[in-house]
Amino acid sequence: MYEYLKGTVAAITPGFLVLDVNGVGYRLLVTNPYAYQVGAAATVYVQQIIRDNDESLYGFTSAAEKQTFNQLLTVTGIGPKSALAILANANTDGLASAVASGDVTYLTKFPGIGKKTAQQIILDLKDKLAAPAGDLFTPAAPVADPALNDALAALVALGYPDKAVAKLGPKLTKLGAKTTDAYLREGLKLLS
Task: Please give the tally of structural domains in the chain.
Answer: 3
**What's the distance, Cα to Cα, between the start and end of the chain in Å?**
27
| Residue at which a domain ends, from 60, 78, 100 | 60
Residue 16 has pLDDT above 90, yes or no: yes
**What's the confidence (pLDDT) of residue 59?**
94
The pLDDT tens digits of the residues spanning 28-62 come to 999 888 889 999 999 999 999 998 888 999 999 88
| Residue at which a domain ends, from 16, 40, 60 | 60
Q: Tell whether 108 is covered by a domain.
A: yes
Q: Considering the chain, what percentage of its residues have pLDDT values greater than 90?
A: 31
Q: Tell whether 91 is covered by a domain.
A: yes
Q: What is the CATH number of the domain that holds 86?
A: 1.10.150.20
CA–CA dist 154, 168 (Å, integer): 13
**Same domain, residue pair 33 and 80:** no
Q: Which of 29, 20, 35, 34 is nearest to 48 (CA)?
A: 29
90, 65 Cβ separation under 8 angstroms: no
Q: Average pLDDT for residues 115-126, to the nearest whole number?
A: 90
**Amino acid occupying residue 183:** Y
84, 29 Cβ separation under 8 angstroms: yes
Q: Tell whether 163 is covered by a domain.
A: yes
**What's the confidence (pLDDT) of residue 144?**
59
Q: Tell whether 132 is covered by a domain.
A: no
> CB neighbours of 170 closer than 8 A, spacing ≥ 6?
none
**Same domain, residue pair 72 and 35:** no
The pLDDT tens digits of the residues spanning 134-181 come to 344 444 344 457 778 778 888 877 777 777 888 888 888 887 777 888
User: Phi-psi bin for 31: left (phi > 0), alpha (psi -120 to 50), beta?
Assistant: alpha
Q: Tell whether 168 is covered by a domain.
A: yes
**Same domain, residue pair 120 and 72:** yes
**What's the confidence (pLDDT) of residue 142?**
46
Q: Tell whether 135 is covered by a domain.
A: no
**Same domain, residue pair 35 and 71:** no
**What's the confidence (pLDDT) of residue 165?**
81
Domain that holds residue 41: 4-60
**Same domain, residue pair 10 and 52:** yes
The H-assigned helical ranges of 90-136 are 92-101, 104-107, 115-125
Q: pTM for this one? A: 0.65
Q: Tell whether 182 is covered by a domain.
A: yes
Sign of the alpha-carbon dihedral angle for 34, 40, 45, 51:
positive
**Same domain, residue pair 106 and 158:** no
10, 19 Cβ separation under 8 angstroms: yes
**Same domain, residue pair 72 and 53:** no
| Residue at which a domain ends, from 125, 155, 179 | 125
31, 70 Cβ separation under 8 angstroms: no
Q: Which of 140, 163, 141, 137 is nearest to 151 (CA)?
A: 137
